[in-house]
Chains A and B, each alone.
Chain A
Amino acid sequence: MNPYLGLDEIFFWSSAVAKKNMFDIERLWDPKFKVEKNQKISTFGSCFAQHIGKALVDKGFNFLVTEAAPSGLTEYNAQKLNYGLFTARTGNIYTISLFQQWINWALSESSPPDEVWEKDNRYIDPFRPTIEPNGFDSVDELYQSREITLEAFKEALVSSNLMVLTLGLTESWINDSDNYEYPICPGTLAGTFEKHHKFLNQDYTFIKKKLTESIQKIRDINPNINFILTVSPIPLTATMSGNHILSATTESKSILRSVAGNISKKFDFVDYFPSYEIINSTPFRGSFFEPNQRNVNIVGVNHVMKIFFDSLSKKKYGAFEINAPFTNAIEHNRVCEEELLNAFSKNK
């Protein structure tokens, strides 16, 4: 007699993985809470998170968009202007500390700094560097546009029923003089790299603290909100850690995965969805990556989303919805500043 006897087959590698075709590996996620189609679901996070909003719309869920494109703009141009990628037009939020920074600005606990990057007579928002494809006409326009986003971000915090947060990176760049964080290293896309720009490879304790604080702050103003955490499966484009990119990626993702796992166990209202495992684990043999072994292909995105929605359906109905096959390829061009770092590689 021992505690392993009688355990469900999903708790054994042999039965759950080794003896299965990779597409038959199932029950990867048992959602903590039901998600109703009328619930307002917001998404924020790194590049991979952009797929989630589109998938929510595709499956008839209520993807909350608090910063909608101006009425009359076509979908093509709205997408070009980065509307609808996330709930508000924050652009990619790669780290939890950046997420916390947005929360503090939105709740007026601190103010965004005046810093603006100039490039080719246009103005770039250092905190949303690709949000306007050609930059802003003026600094005033930049600030006003960001003001709209901060209002929309606050609206998302206040009115979401569920927030899906994708954790992307541990590596970050800080303005050490004034203590604020950039989503991308100054001087890469725009801006000038200066000596007060410091690299910080965030560790487990730091990220866990930031995530706990962020979640609790949101719950203070929205007491019934639930969270689903997920870790982006996309490897780093570049690393300042001093380690090989493979090691740096593994360490980064491991830390994020550990934090997400810990926080999801700590709070009833936080769940973890294993998109990282689905894309990266050995049973899937890397087949969900493009030839560059970094970008996730459409099959991978679709498989992740299928598991996400099938699991939610099973939670709600006790079975998979027969009449709700996941529709084909969400062909959608992700906007990913982090990929631009590759431009600085000597060997492309």
Chain B
Amino acid sequence: MKICILGNSHTASLKTGWDKISSDYPQVMLTFFAARGNAMSRLESKLNMLIAKDTELENSLKFTSGGIKQIDLNNYDLFLIYGLGFRIPKLDKRLPSSTLNMLFSEINSKSLSINLANKIRDIVSAPIYIGHAPLKADENELSSKDAMNILSYEDVLKKLSLSIKVSNITLIGQPLITRNGDFNTKREFSKGSTRLDIGDKLSGQLHPDEDLTHMNGQFGALWLENFFKKVLVF
């Protein structure tokens, strides 16, 4: 199965994780197309391809994919869009439905992930999966009093999924084993995370220890294993 992964710096953990487990999945070929920050917003559709509008992005795509500058969407069986600012908000369950609807509508209209999904869907009908940016690492859990009033992670994911208007798209949650409570990642997974390797001097450098938003290869491996359970038919 040929899977195209598009993402930002968070993709580094998936790549590092894939390096650890790829031999367990000989039937899977992952091609990563990644760039730091919001650079993927500079992809444009041309015929059956997604093409970089500038050289900087093109170089990043070429490096992360192992030599491919342009993304031919017909070459893949499914797509995973990962990170790209798509976040799972912590929401008070007592908020009015109109507020939630407004929020989800905004997330959809402003999200780079959804924007890319729309571009892909305009060209191919292959399944698209969206993985949200990792939950922030934190050792502390919400107090039981606060947790009582917060919508569960699964509920937010469900409501967000329902709000997405792109056809045949699935929101993939972060595996339970990586989470500390509902809205945090276990601290161990943010230690030793590295910068996305795009072939520049920052590539592969460790993130500072106080970076609680980027995850390591162990996280990436667990994330992918969870993802494969959902998408692969053994």
Contact = CB atoms under 8 A, between A and B. Distances in A.
Interface in B82-106: 87, 89-92, 94-100, 102-103, 106
B107 interface: yes
A66 to B, nearest CB: 13
Interface in A136-177: 136-137, 141, 144-145, 147-148
Interface in A42-71: 70-71
Interface residues of A, number: 16
Contact of B87 (A71, A144, A145): A71
A70 B93 CA distance: 11
A148 B102 CA distance: 18
B106 A137 contact: no
Nearest to B97: A137
A214 B107 CA distance: 41
A137 B96 CA distance: 7
A145 B95 CA distance: 6
A81 B99 CA distance: 8
A134 B91 contact: no
Contacts of B103: 70, 72-73, 77
Given A72-B87, A72-B89, A73-B103, A147 B94 contact: yes
A145 B98 CA distance: 12
* Main secondary structure on A side of the interface with B: loop
A73 B149 CA distance: 19
B98 A77 contact: no
Nearest to B149: A148
Given A132-B98, A137-B97, A71 B90 contact: yes
Contact of A73 (B94, B96, B102): B102
Given A71-B87, A72-B87, A73-B106, A145 B94 contact: yes
Interface residues on B, range: 10 to 19
Nearest to A134: B98
A327 interface: no
Contacts of B97: 137, 141
Given A71-B87, A71-B90, A72-B89, A141 B102 contact: no
Contacts of B102: 73, 77, 81
B101 to A, nearest CB: 10
Contacts of B89: 70-72
A141 B91 contact: no
B96 A132 contact: yes
A14 B195 CA distance: 69
B106 A74 contact: yes
A77 B104 CA distance: 12
Contacts of A136: 96, 98
A14 B63 CA distance: 77
A70 B94 contact: no
Contacts of B95: 70, 144-145, 148
A40 to B, nearest CB: 19
B94 A77 contact: no
Nearest to B92: A148
B230 to A, nearest CB: 25
Contacts of B107: 72
A141 B89 CA distance: 20
A147 B97 CA distance: 15
Contacts of B90: 71
A144 B99 contact: no
A88 B106 CA distance: 23
Nearest to B105: A77
B73 to A, nearest CB: 29
Nearest to B111: A72
Contacts of B98: 132, 134, 136-137
Contacts of B96: 132, 136-137, 141, 144-145
Most buried by B among A72, A73, A137, A148: A72
A83 to B, nearest CB: 10
B94 A144 contact: yes
A147 B96 CA distance: 12
A71 B95 CA distance: 12
Contacts of A77: 102-103, 106
Contacts of B110: 74
B85 to A, nearest CB: 10
Given A144-B95, A147-B94, 7 more contacts: A70-B100, A71-B90, A72-B87, A72-B89, A73-B99, A77-B106, A148-B94
